Chains A and B, each alone.
Chain A
Amino acid sequence: MTVEQISQQLNLTVFGGNKGLNTEITGGYTSDLLSDVMGFAAVGSVWITLQTHKNVMAIASLKDLAAIVLVKGFTPDPDTLAQANEEGIPILGSKEQSFELSAKIYNLLN
């Protein structure tokens, strides 16, 4: 399933990084601790978080993550968005909280 398919099925907002919408999602990781994601998220994962600052993009890029989904209506900081566009890593958004969103994405992937 691609980032775009998940985004359509769950009605997610696409803030930016549209170049990467065709990336295949191979799993997910839900965490707001950057070292946790850095150490343990698998390549191709969608990262579910409430962190909106630029460092999330650095981590997504370094770890080759498929996309970031911001929960609870959070929106990316301007420099976060700029880097998402530059790197082509989609940054999406949802009104839902992490538990619910993770469950829905899990169900779509499994």
Chain B
Amino acid sequence: MEFKFHVEGGDFTSAGTASSQIKKVLKQINIDPIIIKRVVVALYEAEVNIVAHAHHGDIKVKITPQQVYIRLDDEGPGIENVEKAMQKGFSTASSKVREMGFGAGMGLPNIKENADIFTVRSEVGKGTTLEITISTVNNG
């Protein structure tokens, strides 16, 4: 199954639309609630980062029997220092965004925490691509 979403920068009222849709789908196909939670947290944070930091972006979610694969491509300022951006507490969010309770610098760390595979590629002045993979099979 594949799903696509478009996200506009600055559109906070729509933030969470993709996460909410994907949560419903995963519930319908009886994915383990613990896995659903991890997908929801990672996708929500990634979605909000496009809203808070980029101009616009596209989300693709591919669900296979083994995994949930999410790719987010945005056009925007990009991330100057990805390593730094991944640190808990690092944020360049505007004061308006912070007042809303976003911009705690916990988004990328939350994604990393919940993903099995997480890669960030970014080009300053162009945009950012995130790839998030979460396995849905018990491999323990």
B-binding residues in A (CB < 8 A):
32-36, 38-39, 43, 49, 51, 53-56, 58-59, 61-63, 79
Q: Determine which of B40, B100, B107 lies in contact with A51 in the assembled complex, contact meaning CB atoms within 8 Å.
A: B100
> A38 and B44 in contact (CB under 8 A), knowing A33-B101, A33-B104, A33-B106?
yes
Bound-state Cα–Cα, A56 to B106, Å: 16
**B interface, how many residues as a size bin?**
20 to 34
> A35 and B106 in contact (CB under 8 A), knowing A53-B100, A55-B15, A55-B100?
yes
Q: Is B133 interfacial (CB 8 A cutoff)? A: no
Residues of A within 8 A of B110 (CB): 35, 38-39
Residues of A within 8 A of B15 (CB): 55, 58
Contact across chains for B40 and A34 when beta carbons are under 8 A apart: no
Bound-state Cα–Cα, A63 to B43, Å: 13
Given A51-B100, A55-B101, 11 further pairs, Cβ under 8 A = A32-B101, A33-B104, A38-B44, A49-B101, A55-B102, A58-B15, A58-B19, A59-B44, A62-B16, A62-B40, A79-B13
Of all A-B residue pairs in the complex, the 7 with the closest CB atoms, nearest first, are A58-B16, A35-B106, A33-B104, A34-B101, A39-B110, A51-B101, A35-B104
A-binding residues in B (CB < 8 A):
12-13, 15-16, 19-20, 23, 37, 40-41, 44-45, 48, 100-102, 104, 106-107, 110, 113
Bound-state Cα–Cα, A51 to B104, Å: 14
Q: Is the interface of A mostly helix, strand, loop or mixed?
A: helix
> A39 and B41 in contact (CB under 8 A), knowing A55-B15, A58-B20, A62-B20?
yes
